[in-house]
Amino acid sequence: MKRLAFALAIVAGCASAGTLEGRIVGITDGDTITLLDADHKQHKIRLDGIDAPEKAQPFGNRSKQHLSDLAFNREAMAECGKVDRYQREVCRVIVGGTDVCLAQIQAGMAWHFKRYAKEQTRLHREQYAGAELEARAARRGLWADALPMPPWEWRHEKASQPSR
């Protein structure tokens, strides 16, 4: 019985990898969307390779709005490779031929999430890193701030503050 449960867990994890197609019906923030597939199943998707400012951070709402302008209510293809700890599928999302993950970085609305860069293909890793360097140099989006705080540092700071 334990072997069967283990085998089913492995199969369920593998089923998340692959390609999804559908309409983007929700934008949670600058790096999380909801895709509705042809079977009317909603997929919560964390954009692969990027980390956008949290909503309460500077540029958080602008990042969300930029992603919405790129993807909301449009047909998309999502290339998914894993499920994160919040049960979101982690995917590279293409809308109208545009990699929206890369577009978020190019616009200065997200960081290249280097913590997970080894999980990206070499091409995507190089594109995303180069796009961040270019956005920084041009002081686009969040790079207009003198010292923008990466969201992983912001989350850590918030978590270490005592509750009131």
Q: CATH code at 30?
A: 2.40.50.90
Residue 94 lies in a domain: yes
Q: Look at residue 10 and tell me whether its pLDDT is greater than 70.
A: no
Residue 1 lies in a domain: no
Residue 65 lies in a domain: yes
Catalytic option among 54, 89, 92, 132: 54
pLDDT digits (tens, 9 = 90+) for 31-72: 999 999 999 999 999 999 999 999 999 999 999 999 999 999
Residue 73 lies in a domain: yes
Per-residue pLDDT, 62: 97
For the chain, how many structural domains are there in total? 1
Active site annotation includes 46: yes
Residue 101 lies in a domain: yes
Active site annotation includes 126: no
Per-position b or e across 125-153, b if 16+ CB within 10 A of its CB: bebbbebbeebeeeeebbbeeeebeebee
Residue 54 lies in a domain: yes
Residue 99 lies in a domain: yes
Catalytic option among 3, 21, 23, 46: 46
Range of the domain at 93: 18-158
Q: Look at residue 93 and tell me whether its pLDDT is greater than 60.
A: yes
Active site annotation includes 125: no
Catalytic option among 3, 88, 126, 164: 88
Per-residue pLDDT, 160: 80
Q: pTM for the complete prediction?
A: 0.86
